[in-house]
Amino acid sequence: MFSPIERTRWSVMDVSAEKSLAQFADDVDAYYEKLVALYWQQLKVFAASRIGNPLDAEDLVQEVFIRAYVALERYSIRQRQDLKARAWLYKITWNLYYNFISRSPEQQGLSIALGEKLEHEGLEIDDENGVNPEEIFEQAERRQELEALVAGLPRQYQAVVSLYYFEELSLQEVADVLNQPLGTVKVYVRRGIQQLRKTLQMRVNMVG
């Protein structure tokens, strides 16, 4: 699912989608309709996986596309032609998600707990053998199981691992969505994968 070949396939699909959108750049309404058709369900799944409530996720995605439409009306034809729409929509979604959790006491508590956990995770541990992320994802039998593992990571790592591996954003796009330096994103992906490896190894040891 997450092999280099498949990641390349997804990248080609994204480029194709961006090109198809560019054809409608001179018509805001047509561009918007195509945008919704391409990304509504994708963003809804992403939002629901983080919020946990399908209705709240639906409301959030509706707000995402309202804001997207307002922005598109202000953009020039050239801006719409050059827009990296998928990463742009994820950035809007991410910002609205953080607005949502800032209003939710339950989500706030989770964020605080994850932040505190980050202080005790041994983040400076290095892996001399390097990190092979594909091995992690191959060991998880189902996406749901893997998402549960990722949800157990500190929040900083959850975000970059989810966006990079689940949502198929490039490292640069993840950096743009999260307003983080590219180098920081690379480190967080690496460390997040390291912690997933440790978790999976602990499970293997317990079974054995």
- The pLDDT score that the predictor gives to residue 102 is 72
- Sequence-distant (6+) residues with CB within 8 A of 199 are 149, 152
- As a whole number, mean pLDDT of residues 7-27 equals 69
Q: Which of 43, 69, 104 is the last residue of a domain?
A: 104
pLDDT digits (tens, 9 = 90+) for 191-205: 888 888 887 777 667
> Does the structure show a pLDDT above 70 at 105?
no
- As a whole number, mean pLDDT of residues 106-127 equals 36
> Does the structure show a pLDDT above 50 at 65?
yes
Domain that holds residue 147: 118-208
Distance (Å, whole) CA 165 – CA 160: 8
Burial-class residue 104 by CB neighbours within 10 Å (0-12, 13-18, 19+).
middle
Length of the chain (residues): 208
> Does the structure show a pLDDT above 90 at 9?
no
- pLDDT classification of 103: cutoffs 50, 70, 90: low
Q: What would the 3-class secondary structure string for 10-31 be?
A: HHHHHHHHHHHHHCCCCCHHHH
> Does the structure show a pLDDT above 50 at 114?
no
- pLDDT classification of 2: cutoffs 50, 70, 90: very low
- Shared-domain flag, residues 89 and 137: no
- Shared-domain flag, residues 147 and 81: no
Residue that wins the pLDDT comparison between 50 and 69:
69
- As a whole number, mean pLDDT of residues 57-81 equals 94
CATH number at residue 201: 1.10.10.10
pLDDT digits (tens, 9 = 90+) for 148-173: 788 888 878 888 988 888 788 889 99
- The pLDDT score that the predictor gives to residue 208 is 56
Q: Considering the chain, what is the average pLDDT of its residues?
A: 75
- Shared-domain flag, residues 97 and 170: no
Asked, for residue 110, whether it belongs to a domain, the answer is no
Asked, for residue 112, whether it belongs to a domain, the answer is no
Weakest mean pLDDT among 20-24, 185-189, 200-204: 200-204
> Does the structure show a pLDDT above 90 at 77?
yes
- As a whole number, mean pLDDT of residues 61-78 equals 94
Amino acid letter, 197: R
- Sequence-distant (6+) residues with CB within 8 A of 179 are none
Percentage above 70 pLDDT, the chain: 70
- Shared-domain flag, residues 136 and 99: no
* Number of structural domains in the chain: 2
Q: Helix H segments across the chain?
A: 4-22, 28-51, 54-74, 77-82, 85-103, 105-118, 133-139, 143-151, 155-161, 171-178, 182-207
Asked, for residue 146, whether it belongs to a domain, the answer is yes
Tokens standing for residue 205:
């040891």
In 3D space, the residue among 151, 149, 178, 143 whose CA is nearest the CA of residue 51 turns out to be 151
Tokens standing for residue 62:
């509706």
Backbone phi, psi, residue 28, to 5°: -60, -45
